[in-house]
Structure 1
């Protein structure tokens, strides 16, 4: 079975003038710190292959590999069919919209491909053209610039170009939130293509924003380790963990002691794994606000320790974990999950009662602050009518305090 094409076996530039035609279009690209104008070519679809590092489908590709598919053993057609479905599933409405436009007026925006046929920019347009070719039964072409990595382009250069295109050409970045986190994590932590400062410059954001994204990505990695699904980013996508992770980042930032931070993190991971609530973001927010930021925080953490151990051990005992395994583990933890839910509910209720009891005190404190702001000299200078009203209100306040 043939493997995905490389530069030696699929040299697009060598085909120019044969089955690849030059157009009169040009596209400007920023490469290695320079903006250059590149010729656009019409390329037969069968010569192209999807980019398996495409950030839009990174967790989908991760699922395929985790399920045991040897991507390198697939033929180009088999590989393209698999990835095409991922592109469709990742954002079907956007794909249909693009397809409708291409069908009506053709491809407007040229893509970018490597000399080996890998599509760097334009995977959705490539997908639409593949579908239209099958539906119409006619030859269609992908219009794109051809870049040759052998001309001094590193993987980091190509990734930098991809980031600038996706984030810097006034086009919305419609990545799934989890895919975006995985992309950031891989580019900065795993592949070390960029520092947080470099990454921020390439996507047009502040470095502090990128650090927040990376913080959330690292928390996602830690959670997957906690449930014995290390590296299975598609699990985080299917569980829709972006919102809960965002809440956790805010909660954990308040923890200054490292030991306390680890205790809180494990408690939050356990709560996330055992919750039956549909809105997990709201559930984690409630724990952060109504328990961990309240007076019964320490009691909750101590009470939750055994549950943390039970849940963690139940996942670690499995050989591997995916979505179906999570359901199986939770089924075997019904009593533990019920206890966890009871503890969270009881501690949240305690905080609500405590806050209700404190409302009169809070009201009096507010009143005291208002009284402290009264200037005695201003009272002395009041005209008789205003002073009479002032004394009336003082007397009324005394009566109310006597009632209390």
Structure 2
């Protein structure tokens, strides 16, 4: 059913008073509060909003790989419904139970030509209950009410800008935020930025501040740069489980660029190219799914410092990092070799294979330099450092072939001997 027919049918519904389910519903629309009716609408007259905030990551990633989705086409409609259902399966099962037992308790919002602005998830679950009633062992009478959707019908003059505003206000309220995947709020801000200021977006999102909106946009910019780096442009699904490290990294990079007060522990005159190197190194660790303290030790600011804060540690860390094998196939080659494989799965496998290949290198390099960082932090605690050195030397297994075969072992022993002798002389003089 095309937009013209849907619009005509919805106008008929508005003219029939028997379709009115609720009256006097306040709606914030075009900078004013209006009083609207809620109508009973057959679901066949409605189409999904494919850029719904809950599934923006999935839809945009899919379209990057396969071309645009058209919610008026049945095959594409099924794909959108799957995205909506898979986004929160446990929550959706509970909602379906409620819809079946109690009917639709919360009204939605649709445009004059039937595009769902608010209520995509509920509408998709109603459709599922009715269409799959036999497989779910429900009788027709049990699901008859699931053919209809209760919603406000917007005036004919609603624009894409109006729809974006309404969706944000009614879907990004404090209660609904729990339904959103971590990356969705960043993409929603990007969409809204086409039409609104940061202050407007913060207002639509309820309790968020203008400063927070700017931060989210900056974090998304960093995320997109990460995707570009590995040939994953527009495939936002590759950002799964990475939000925390990106939030941390964006803050660190901003502090280093601005020479903020919390970078006072840095002991060298870094420049823009050094910050760029730091970013790319951190990208690799994010790709390998590092997070928490391990990740923060690479770049964090503050009085404790980090690997980047100390030039000698950073130079060695970066040098060793550059030795990571870089022989993986590019995205285009992968796709050409396996044209029938879903690209998202190909890229996921590519990342997993890369991580397995470089894991020991990443772990070893980070562990060695973190140990040196700890020594820097404890420089004013000589006994603590000496105990650590003593325990490390005492742990050396002299029965191993590597103790005899590697010439660097003797070099280190000589250096250690000289350092300890110098220390002993200092103590003897006192």
TM-score normalised by the chain length of structure 1: 0.76
Partner of 1:158: 163
2:426 is matched with none
8 Å CA contact retained: 2:297, 2:307? yes
State the Cα distance separating 1:342 from its structure 2 match: 2.3
1:350 is the counterpart of 2:348: no
Alignment-derived partner of residue 182 in structure 1:
187
Residues 1:248 and 2:249 aligned together: yes
Structure 1 partner of 2:279: 265
- 2:314 match: 297
Distance 1:118 1:65 in 2: 19
Deviation of residue 258 (structure 1)? 2.9
Which residue of structure 2 aligns with residue 123 of structure 1?
120
2: CA distance between counterparts of 1:179 and 1:208? 18
Say which SS state the counterpart of residue 116 (structure 1) adopts. Answer: coil
**Count of residue pairs brought into register by the alignment:** 350
State the Cα RMSD in Å: 3.2
Does residue 339 of structure 1 match 2:377? no
Cα–Cα, structure 1 residues 317 and 267, in superposed 2: closer, same or farther, change >3 Å?
farther
1:7 to partner: Cα distance: 4.1
Question: Which residue does 1:193 correspond to in 2?
Answer: 195
Q: Secondary structure at the match of 1:358?
A: coil
Q: 2:108·2:150 contact (CA, 8 Å) conserved in 1?
A: yes
Residue by residue over 1:188-233, the C-alpha shift from the partner in whole angstroms, topping out at 9 and shown as x without a partner, is 2xxx112222211221321111111111111110000011000111
Q: Given that residues 6 and 45 in structure 2 are in contact (C-alpha distance below 8 angstroms), is that contact kept between their aligned partners in structure 1?
A: no
Q: 1:280 aligns with which of 291, 313, 319?
A: 291
Is the 1:5–1:76 contact (alpha carbons within 8 Å) kept by the matching residues of 2?
no
Instruction: Name which of 83, 97, 101 aligns with 1:100.
Output: 97
Distance in 1 (CA, whole Å) between partners of 2:212 and 2:186 is 12
- Cα distance change of structure 1 residues 163 and 101 upon mapping to structure 2, 3 Å threshold: same
What is the rounded CA distance, in whole Å, between the counterparts of 1:20 and 1:126 in structure 2? 21
Structure 1: tracts of 5 or more residues without a match? 363-403
The C-alpha deviation readout for 1:38-80, integer Å capped at 9, x for no partner, is 11100011211110110100111123323425523x7543333
Contact 1:26–1:38 (8 Å) recurs in 2: yes
Give, in angstroms, the shift of residue 355 of structure 1.
Answer: 2.9
Which structure has more relative contact order (CA 8 Å, sep 6+)? It is 1
Instruction: Quote the Cα distance in structure 2 between the aligned partners of 1:85 and 1:143.
Output: 22
Q: 1-side partners of 2:254 and 2:333: how far apart?
A: 31
The reply to whether residue 202 of structure 1 matches residue 168 of structure 2 is no
What's the offset of the Cα at 1:96? 2.1
- SS of alignment partner, residue 209 of structure 1: helix
Contact 1:247–1:281 (Cα < 8 Å) also in 2: no
- Equivalent residue for 1:37, pick from 31, 35, 38: 35
Q: Provide TM-score, normalisation by structure 2.
A: 0.72
Cα displacement (A) at 1:102? 2.4
Change (3 A) 1:198 1:48: same
